A = this chain, B = another copy of it.
Amino acid sequence: MRKTFLFMDTIYNKVDAKGRVSLPSDYRAIVKESSSEIVCYRSLSAPCIEGCLEDLLDKLASDMENSLDFFSETQDNLTNLIFGDAKRYPFDSTGRIMLSEKLLKHAQITDAAVFVGKGRKFQIWNPQNWEKEEARIRAEVLKNRPSLKPQAEGEK
Protein backbone atom coordinates (compact mmCIF):
# COMPACT_ATOMS: atom_id res chain seq x y z
CA MET A 1 0.00 0.00 0.00
CA ARG A 2 1.58 3.25 -1.06
CA LYS A 3 1.60 6.30 1.14
CA THR A 4 1.62 9.18 -1.28
CA PHE A 5 -0.48 8.99 -4.38
CA LEU A 6 -1.99 12.35 -5.13
CA PHE A 7 -0.93 14.42 -8.10
CA MET A 8 -0.49 17.96 -6.79
CA ASP A 9 1.12 21.30 -7.46
CA THR A 10 1.67 23.20 -10.69
CA ILE A 11 4.99 22.63 -12.39
CA TYR A 12 6.49 24.34 -15.41
CA ASN A 13 8.79 22.27 -17.62
CA LYS A 14 10.38 22.75 -21.00
CA VAL A 15 9.54 20.70 -24.04
CA ASP A 16 12.53 20.09 -26.30
CA ALA A 17 12.66 19.87 -30.07
CA LYS A 18 11.97 16.14 -29.96
CA GLY A 19 8.81 16.61 -27.94
CA ARG A 20 10.33 15.36 -24.72
CA VAL A 21 9.24 16.62 -21.28
CA SER A 22 10.39 15.74 -17.82
CA LEU A 23 7.58 14.30 -15.76
CA PRO A 24 7.78 16.19 -12.44
CA SER A 25 9.72 14.12 -9.92
CA ASP A 26 6.81 14.04 -7.49
CA TYR A 27 4.63 12.53 -10.18
CA ARG A 28 7.28 9.99 -11.01
CA ALA A 29 7.50 8.93 -7.40
CA ILE A 30 3.80 8.13 -7.48
CA VAL A 31 3.90 6.28 -10.76
CA LYS A 32 6.95 4.24 -9.85
CA GLU A 33 5.02 2.53 -7.10
CA SER A 34 3.22 0.46 -9.70
CA SER A 35 4.96 0.84 -13.05
CA SER A 36 7.01 3.28 -15.09
CA GLU A 37 4.37 4.65 -17.35
CA ILE A 38 1.42 6.97 -17.26
CA VAL A 39 -1.69 7.08 -19.41
CA CYS A 40 -2.51 10.23 -21.35
CA TYR A 41 -5.44 11.33 -23.48
CA ARG A 42 -6.88 14.52 -24.88
CA SER A 43 -9.15 16.21 -22.40
CA LEU A 44 -12.74 16.26 -23.58
CA SER A 45 -13.59 19.50 -21.87
CA ALA A 46 -10.52 21.65 -22.34
CA PRO A 47 -7.58 22.23 -24.64
CA CYS A 48 -5.19 20.23 -22.51
CA ILE A 49 -3.80 16.77 -22.00
CA GLU A 50 -5.01 14.60 -19.15
CA GLY A 51 -2.89 11.99 -17.45
CA CYS A 52 -3.39 9.38 -14.78
CA LEU A 53 -2.40 5.91 -13.64
CA GLU A 54 -3.88 3.04 -15.56
CA ASP A 55 -5.63 2.03 -12.34
CA LEU A 56 -7.98 4.96 -12.63
CA LEU A 57 -9.16 4.08 -16.11
CA ASP A 58 -9.49 0.51 -14.95
CA LYS A 59 -11.78 1.65 -12.18
CA LEU A 60 -13.81 3.64 -14.68
CA ALA A 61 -14.15 0.56 -16.86
CA SER A 62 -15.28 -1.55 -13.92
CA ASP A 63 -17.84 0.97 -12.85
CA MET A 64 -19.20 1.11 -16.34
CA GLU A 65 -19.82 -2.61 -16.56
CA ASN A 66 -21.17 -2.95 -13.05
CA SER A 67 -23.75 -0.22 -13.08
CA LEU A 68 -24.91 0.45 -16.57
CA ASP A 69 -28.09 2.25 -15.59
CA PHE A 70 -26.12 4.63 -13.55
CA PHE A 71 -24.67 6.29 -16.57
CA SER A 72 -26.32 8.35 -19.20
CA GLU A 73 -25.78 7.54 -22.84
CA THR A 74 -23.71 10.66 -23.10
CA GLN A 75 -21.31 9.49 -20.46
CA ASP A 76 -21.18 6.13 -22.16
CA ASN A 77 -20.09 7.86 -25.32
CA LEU A 78 -17.55 9.89 -23.46
CA THR A 79 -15.86 6.82 -22.07
CA ASN A 80 -15.63 5.43 -25.57
CA LEU A 81 -13.82 8.54 -26.62
CA ILE A 82 -11.43 8.36 -23.73
CA PHE A 83 -10.49 4.74 -24.14
CA GLY A 84 -10.13 5.25 -27.84
CA ASP A 85 -7.77 8.10 -27.29
CA ALA A 86 -5.79 6.97 -24.26
CA LYS A 87 -2.30 5.60 -24.63
CA ARG A 88 0.52 4.56 -22.32
CA TYR A 89 3.52 6.86 -22.09
CA PRO A 90 6.59 5.26 -20.52
CA PHE A 91 9.34 7.43 -19.12
CA ASP A 92 13.05 6.75 -19.39
CA SER A 93 15.76 6.71 -16.72
CA THR A 94 15.96 10.49 -16.74
CA GLY A 95 12.22 10.71 -16.18
CA ARG A 96 11.08 12.04 -19.52
CA ILE A 97 8.09 11.12 -21.61
CA MET A 98 7.59 11.85 -25.26
CA LEU A 99 4.23 13.31 -26.06
CA SER A 100 2.64 12.57 -29.41
CA GLU A 101 1.91 15.17 -32.06
CA LYS A 102 -1.78 14.63 -31.55
CA LEU A 103 -1.61 15.51 -27.86
CA LEU A 104 0.71 18.47 -28.31
CA LYS A 105 -1.49 19.89 -31.03
CA HIS A 106 -4.65 19.51 -29.00
CA ALA A 107 -3.07 21.37 -26.09
CA GLN A 108 -1.28 23.88 -28.30
CA ILE A 109 1.98 23.01 -26.62
CA THR A 110 5.20 23.84 -28.41
CA ASP A 111 8.24 24.57 -26.27
CA ALA A 112 6.93 24.51 -22.71
CA ALA A 113 4.28 22.78 -20.64
CA VAL A 114 2.63 23.16 -17.26
CA PHE A 115 1.67 20.14 -15.19
CA VAL A 116 -1.36 20.75 -12.99
CA GLY A 117 -2.21 18.29 -10.22
CA LYS A 118 -5.81 17.12 -9.91
CA GLY A 119 -5.62 14.46 -7.24
CA ARG A 120 -5.94 11.09 -8.97
CA LYS A 121 -5.35 12.78 -12.33
CA PHE A 122 -3.31 15.64 -13.67
CA GLN A 123 -3.40 17.93 -16.68
CA ILE A 124 -0.76 19.27 -19.01
CA TRP A 125 -1.33 22.76 -20.40
CA ASN A 126 0.20 25.33 -22.64
CA PRO A 127 1.55 27.82 -20.05
CA GLN A 128 -0.33 30.84 -21.35
CA ASN A 129 -3.56 28.92 -21.68
CA TRP A 130 -3.29 27.64 -18.14
CA GLU A 131 -2.76 31.13 -16.81
CA LYS A 132 -6.04 32.23 -18.32
CA GLU A 133 -7.82 29.06 -17.29
CA GLU A 134 -6.72 29.36 -13.69
CA ALA A 135 -8.00 32.91 -13.50
CA ARG A 136 -11.30 31.80 -14.99
CA ILE A 137 -11.69 28.94 -12.53
CA ARG A 138 -10.83 31.09 -9.54
CA ALA A 139 -13.42 33.64 -10.55
CA GLU A 140 -16.04 31.00 -11.10
CA VAL A 141 -15.45 29.15 -7.86
CA LEU A 142 -15.59 32.36 -5.86
CA LYS A 143 -18.78 33.36 -7.65
CA ASN A 144 -20.45 30.12 -6.67
CA ARG A 145 -19.25 30.40 -3.11
CA PRO A 146 -20.09 33.97 -2.14
CA SER A 147 -19.07 33.31 1.44
CA LEU A 148 -15.50 33.11 0.31
CA LYS A 149 -15.63 36.29 -1.67
CA PRO A 150 -15.23 39.08 0.88
CA GLN A 151 -12.03 37.78 2.36
CA ALA A 152 -10.56 36.99 -1.00
CA GLU A 153 -9.11 40.47 -1.32
CA GLY A 154 -5.74 39.46 0.03
CA GLU A 155 -5.18 37.33 -3.07
CA LYS A 156 -2.42 37.64 -5.63
Chain A residues with a Cβ under 8 A of chain B: 3-10, 26, 34-35, 37, 39, 44-47, 54, 57-61, 63-65, 67-68, 70-71, 73-88, 106, 116-121, 123, 133-134, 137-138, 140-142, 144, 148, 151-152, 154-156
Answer whether A44 and B60 are a contact pair too, CB < 8 Å, given A6-B83, A35-B3, A86-B9. Answer: no
Contacts A10-B85, A117-B86; is A46 near B77 (CB within 8 Å)? no
Residue among A46, A59, A137 with the highest chain B CB neighbour number at 10 A: A46
User: Which residues of B sit under 8 angstroms from A65, Cβ to Cβ?
Assistant: 59, 119-120
Considering the chains assembled together, what is the distance between the CA atoms of A131 and B77 in angstroms? 14
Interchain CA distance A65-B78 in the complex, whole Å: 17
| Cβ 8 A contact of A116, one of B34, B84, B151 | B84
Identity of the chain B residue whose Cβ is nearest the Cβ of A84 in the assembled complex: B116
Other than A3-B35, A6-B61, give 4 A-B pairs with Cβ distance below 8 A: A61-B120, A77-B141, A80-B133, A81-B138
Contact of A134 among B67, B79, B84, B154 (CB under 8 A): B84
Q: Which residues of B contact A79 (CB under 8 A)?
A: 118-119, 121
A-B contact pairs, 30 of them (CB 8 A): A3-B34, A4-B35, A4-B37, A4-B88, A5-B58, A6-B57, A6-B83, A6-B86, A8-B86, A8-B88, A9-B85, A9-B87, A26-B88, A44-B71, A45-B73, A60-B70, A60-B119, A64-B67, A64-B119, A71-B78, A80-B118, A80-B123, A80-B133, A80-B137, A81-B138, A81-B141, A83-B116, A83-B117, A83-B119, A84-B116
